[in-house]
Every structure is written in structure tokens, then in C-alpha cells.
A and B are shown apart, each in its own frame.
Chain A
Amino acid sequence: MALNYTKKTLNHFLKPKNIGEIKNADAYAEIGNMVCGDQLNFSIKVEKGKIKDVKFLSFGCASNIATASIMTEKVKGMSLEEAKNYDWNKIVSDLGGLPQQKVHCSIMAVQGLKKVIDSYEDKKGNKEDHKGKAKKKVVKKKK
């Protein structure tokens, strides 16, 4: 079955932006899709309530990589609130469309982003509660 990815999707797949893991990131999160088995790991750096930096790692298909790439590009500099509600439709339209069975890749990308922001806010909340004594959350990684 031909996938017919758009040129834009292919470009983001072949030359993805923001790949890697931020050292000493403010939060990490991992998200997986039970159906297709793909996985994304996000790390963020936050400054003044805004996303200063965001990076991702991917065990996934071309569209998994492309959607994470374009989304991370767009949400940099955004407020956490705004980024948390980032619409996956926007990813799809920014890429010029995705094959129908690949739309879930964009949904997984925004869910991962929300998860990493939630994790940051949880940690911050904890820190404030415990006057900075919160333990650093251990990020579980798949082997």
C-alpha cells in the first residue's frame, strides 16, 4: 500500500528538527501507542512559564518522526498553557495532510507533549509543596 506522504512530511522525516534529549531537562516523558507499537520520548526546558527548549527521541514510523519534528518546532517559545492544548489538526495541516491511518501519529505527538508538560507541572507543584525537597523523578526507559 503506497503511503504517499507529502513532501513536507518526508522532509521532516529525513531531516527532523529537535531530535535528541536535553541534558538536565526540567521534565521528561515517554508515550507509546499500544496499537502500532511506536514510542516518543520528550524532554523540555521551561523558562518563565514558556517552553524554552523541547527535544524528542523516536522509535517510530516516518510520520511519527515528522509529526514530532514539526510540532516541537512550532511550540518552542509557547506558554505551557498554550502548548498543552496544541491541536493535532494543526500538525496535520502544517504537513499538508497525513494518510488516514497515520493521523494517530500526530495525536500521539500532542499527547506526549502534554505529558511532558504535566510532568513538569507536577514536579514544580511538588517542589513548592515540599520546599524544594522533591525527589527527582526517575524516567523509566524501555530497553
Chain B
Amino acid sequence: MSAYDKVQLARSKGRATGLSYIETIFEDFIELHGDRRFGDDPAIVGGLATLRGKPVTVIAMEKGVEVKEKLRRNFGSPNPEGYRKALRLMKQAEKFHRPVVCFVDTAGAFCGMGAEERGQAQAIAENLSEMIDLKTPVISVLIGEGGSGGALALAVADRVWILENAVYSVISPEGCASILWKDPKKVKEAAECLSLTAQDMERLGVVEKVIPEEKDFGKVYEQLREDLSQELDTLGKLSLEELLQARYDRFRKF
């Protein structure tokens, strides 16, 4: 399978979206809305849930499944208020000593006028700065598209995992082909050159784990529930100092 095939798989219709992970893996999900500053961004869903009885804060990018829902959720491209909502929930998790689990799936942060007016760059920068120092364990799972800074804004974590057919990239192959080679038709070459597949991520040390995908997707959820629960236990045993130093070192190495 070529890198571009993977990109298309990651974007494919019918691929499980963020909310389904939350609803299947966790229990007692209560959605919490709004950034307390401007609005509520449907492209990012967040709230409280339990994982095997333990409270966690869960945050997911949601692209939507049906056309109407996709439009409402802006195809999963968050605005600044989405990132600020996520940050609010993460700071809340810190306060109540709950771990955070993020599911990342976006073509990128939204490139609209309103997003710029409300400080898209500032919102992402603040998330990076707060997440690297968040005083509670964080695990991020890349489940589909990991589109650049807009994805990283939910992926500065103690563990970053990626689904077998998900991708993570600094720019879309389309963007790369048109900027670098002024030829939008060169997307396949661009995808290849960008090293954006889950396997590339593992090779480059960007993720700790690639989650195998199964035909029966229920097994993937089950595996994730097991892995998340185990890993959160492991992280929970670290002292705060150890946790934060390890997170710093994790990104310092690049």
C-alpha cells in the first residue's frame, strides 16, 4: 500500500470518528461544552467519562458522519474556541487529578477569517505550552488524519499512539505538491516524501505504538480500552516530577 493509499484510507468515508471511540471505549460519558470565551466548537467534543470505573477527561476531534453533521462539525477542522475548550477541560482534569485521553482526527486547524480574527495561532500555541506542563497524565491517539499544528494542539502527550492506517503530517500531500512543485497532481510523490504513515511515525520515534486495525473494529476498541487502562495505571504511578520531565524529554529529543 502506497503512502497516498494510506492518506486516502485515513480520510475514507465510513472510518470510525472521534465520538465513536469515546462512546465505545468509555462509560458514563457526559459531554461538556464551550470555551467560556466565545463559543462551543462542534469540531471538538469533550467531557467526562470513566475507564474501568476510573474518571477520565476525554477529548476528541469529530468530523461527523452524515452530510449535515459534517457541515455542523466543520469536517473536523477546529476553530480557536475548540482548542480553548479542550484546554479548559484539560486544566479541569489537572485540578481534579484526572488523566486526559485525546483522539486526534483533523485535516488541520480551520483556515477561515473568523479563525484568524479569534487567534487560531495563539490558541494552538497556548495548548502546546500548557500541555507540555499539564500536571496529569495525557495520552493522545491519532485515529485518522493528523493535520499539522491543528493536530499537535491535542497531541503533546506522555504517550502518542497511532492507528495502523492513520497518518500524521506537517502539511497535506496536496499542499506540499502545490507549494513545493507547483503541481497538484504530484500528491502521490508528496505523500511518499513527507514520511507520514503510522509506520514512519514509529520509525522516527514520533509515536510509542501503532495500533493494529482489524476488520471487526470492535476488537480495536477493546484493545485500546485495555492499553489505555494499563498505560494510565503505569503513568499514574510516576511522581509528578518524573512525569513532566519524561514528557519534556520525549519532545526534546527531536
Does B bind A?
A: no
- Chain B positions within 8 Å of A, measured between CB atoms, are none
Interface residues of A (CB under 8 A from B): none
